[in-house]
Structure 1
Amino acid sequence: MSYVKTTGIVIKEVHTGEADKILTIFTRNLGKITASAKGARRPRSRLIAGTQLLCYSDFVLFKGKEMYSINSCDVIEPFYDIRNSIEKLTCAAHMTDIINDIAQENQPSIDVLKLFLNSLYMISNSKRPVLQVVSIFEIKLLSILGFAPWVNGCVNCGKKEFENISFSFVKCGFICKDCTAADKSAVRLSEGAAKAIFYIVYSNMQNIFNFEASCDVLDEIRRVSKIYLKRQLEKDYKKMDFLKCLKSHKEGI
């Protein structure tokens, strides 16, 4: 019998039969895989904890002809705290949708997995604004995938400055004041927002979340990351819109 050991996080679950699940797991050394979890929905199942959505676990898998079967699993990080907040859960669901789209079957991507896990940890355990975490995740993910924006000066003329900078979604990077005529749709950035985006693109994974920013700067970064993500992945992710509706509802009460 062919058994495989790996660590991974559950990014999708589908209920089947009376008590089974079909899981999509983003693993460290196998990439995205599909696995069946027999009886995982039974209250006394030994698989019940490790097969929950967003649960990061050690898995022992049996490789079948069409998919893997989960023989056992031991929880490493359940990210339970995320489930206690609508805001955190919405952000986590948004990031999970993106991972499901970009992760390739049987193609490992350790940097993407690290970024995803670190982002979930920050949402779950840190006091940083969750929208800051999401924006960092989006920009850094695109950079890892080969869509890094040009942020080392003006993409058009090469001028090195952070003042009077705009972000061009046409040119995929910074353009200076003198070159904005090349793209009238470019978004003007404050010096703080420009420096923050530069930091996200070039910072290593260990330090990527280690910066402070004002609410106004975070709003600028969020606008850039949202539009840039849509342009590069050619998909409009809608889950985050729920937070806007929730905020409007609270303000209207």
Structure 2
Amino acid sequence: MRFYKLQAVVLKAVNMREASQLLTLFSLEKGKVRAVAYGAAKPASRKRGAVQPFTCSLFLLRRGSDLDSVAQCEVLEAFPEVRESLERLACAFYLAELLESATAEGEPAAPLYWLFLETLRALREVDAQVLCRAFEAKMLALLGWQPCLEKCASCGGSVDGRRVSFHVPSGGILCPSCAGRLEGALTCHRGTVEWLKTLLRWETARLGQLKVGRPAREELKELLQKFMAHHLERSARSLAFLEAAEHV
């Protein structure tokens, strides 16, 4: 069929000539999709509101020989609160970049779609840093890269003690014996590992109940961002923007 519908969140909108925009969409039905919205950047365009980054919209797309194009679009959820705070906006850019980097075009990933949508909704009330860590952890799990947190990721033995070694290449925590022979392990508090388990277990909407202290926040940030960079084979470009926004 020449036309098809998608429910999607706009991850990115890049300006083109003649007030058109190249959109990167993350859809419920087809995962990541790229499409051109002709004339969408014009002030009077009916498409303008529905193609803004971090807007959830219903799209009617027209198939093209190279890129598909937006025939019609309608806003479903706009998330204005995201743009009212620099930290929230930076968080949204960072998470959108992670999602774009970790997924292939045209491959449905409904659990990731709902995770991103739930995270945008939670930005209204939940601490942005906690949401970033929860999204990282949950996305890793959905992609099949969930860190091993119950036993040694190398030998399968038990891991005790108030301080724990976390080895990114091995995929999780290490027992003292394996930590002594494997280079590059990160040291963190046992409580940080428990916080990570909680982020994986709790629904996104409940995360506002958590009061995570600064030491655990810093350790979670280091562990998860290094774990994410290892699997994506690069660090997110928007990290600098996110870190600057956290200190404004």
**TM-score > 0.5 by shorter chain:** yes
Contact 2:86 2:245 in 1 (8 A): no
Query: What is the alpha-carbon distance in structure 1 between the residues aligned to residue 11 and residue 80 of structure 2?
Result: 14
Letter in 1 for 2:142: I
**Residue aligning to 2:164:** 165
Query: What is the alpha-carbon distance in structure 1 between the residues aligned to residue 195 and residue 206 of structure 2?
Result: 10
Query: What is the alpha-carbon distance in structure 2 between the residues aligned to residue 42 and residue 238 of structure 1?
Result: 28
Contact 1:193 1:217 in 2 (8 A): yes
Deviation of 1:28 after TM superposition, in Å, equals 0.7
Q: Are 2:148 and 1:150 equivalent residues in the alignment? A: yes
Query: What is the alpha-carbon distance in structure 2 between the residues aligned to residue 116 and residue 247 of structure 1?
Result: 20
Query: What is the alpha-carbon distance in structure 1 between the residues aligned to residue 99 and residue 168 of structure 2?
Result: 22
Aligned residues: 246
Which deviates further from its counterpart, 175-184 or 34-43? 175-184
Contact 1:21 1:38 in 2 (8 A): yes
Identity fraction in percent: 25
Matched ranges for 1:8-23 at <5 A: 8-23=8-23
**Residue aligning to 1:191:** 190
Q: Deviations over 1:200-225 (max 9, x none)?
A: 34x26556736442222121111111
Relative distance call for 1:139 and 1:61 in structure 2 (3 A) is: same
**Residue aligning to 1:44:** 44
**Residue aligning to 2:80:** 80
Q: Match for 2:138 among 117, 127, 140?
A: 140
Please report the RMSD computed on the Cα atoms of aligned residues, expressed in angstroms.
2.3
Deviation of 1:178 after TM superposition, in Å, equals 4.5
Query: What is the alpha-carbon distance in structure 1 between the residues aligned to residue 204 and residue 246 of structure 2?
Result: 32
Specify which structure has the bigger relative contact order, considering alpha-carbon pairs within 8 angstroms and separated by 6 or more residues: 2
* Structure 1, unpaired ranges of 5+: none
Task: Using structure 2 for the length normalisation, give the TM-score.
Answer: 0.88
Query: What is the alpha-carbon distance in structure 2 between the residues aligned to residue 208 and residue 177 of structure 1?
Result: 34
Q: Are 2:128 and 1:121 equivalent residues in the alignment? A: no
* Structure 2, unpaired ranges of 5+: none
Contact 1:149 1:173 in 2 (8 A): yes
Relative distance call for 1:61 and 1:233 in structure 2 (3 A) is: same
Deviation of 1:51 after TM superposition, in Å, equals 0.9
Q: Secondary structure in 2 aligned to 1:146? A: coil
Q: Deviations over 1:12-53 (max 9, x none)?
A: 212223222221111110121121212212222211110111
Query: What is the alpha-carbon distance in structure 2 between the residues aligned to residue 3 and residue 224 of structure 1?
Result: 44
Query: What is the alpha-carbon distance in structure 1 between the residues aligned to residue 197 and residue 231 of structure 2?
Result: 18
Task: Using structure 1 for the length normalisation, give the TM-score.
Answer: 0.87
Deviation of 1:244 after TM superposition, in Å, equals 4.0
Deviation of 1:69 after TM superposition, in Å, equals 1.9
